[in-house]
Amino acid sequence: MMTNAPLIVTAELPEDIYSWATQLRTDHFPPERNFLKAHVTLFHALPPSSEAEVRQCLAAMARDHAPVDVRLTGLMKLGKGTALRLESEGMLALWHDLADRFHGLTTPQDEHPPRLHITIQNKVSIEEAKALQAELEPRVLLRDFAFRGLGLHYYRGGPWERVASFAFRKSR
121-146 pLDDT, tens digit per residue, is: 999 999 999 999 999 999 888 999 99
Q: What is the CATH number of domain 25-37+60-167?
A: 3.90.1140.10
Domain ranges of the chain: 25-37+60-167
* Reported confidence tier of residue 2, pLDDT bands at 50, 70, 90: low
Percent of the residues in the chain that have a pLDDT greater than 70, as a whole number: 99
**51-64 and 89-101 helices cross at what angle (nearest 10)?**
140
Helices (H) and strands (E) in the chain, counts: 4, 8
Could you give the count of Cα atoms lying within 13 Å of 171 in the half-sphere of its Cβ? 0
Task: Note whether 160 and 40 are within 8 A (CB).
Answer: no
For residues 70-75, give the mean pLDDT. 97
Task: Note whether 118 and 21 are within 8 A (CB).
Answer: yes
The CB density around residue 143, as the number of other CB atoms within 10 Å, is: 11
Rounded to whole angstroms, the Cα distance separating 21 from 18 reads 5
Rounded to whole angstroms, the Cα distance separating 161 from 49 reads 17
Prediction pTM value: 0.94
* Reported confidence tier of residue 1, pLDDT bands at 50, 70, 90: low
The residue ranking higher by pLDDT, 32 or 147, is 147
18-71 pLDDT, tens digit per residue, is: 999 999 999 999 999 899 999 999 999 999 999 999 999 999 999 999 999 999
Whole-number pLDDT of residue 141? 85
Residue type, 8: I
Render 119-172 in DSSP notation, one character per residue. EEE-SS-HHHHHHHHHHHTTT---EEEEE-EEEEEEE-SSSEEEEEEEE--S--
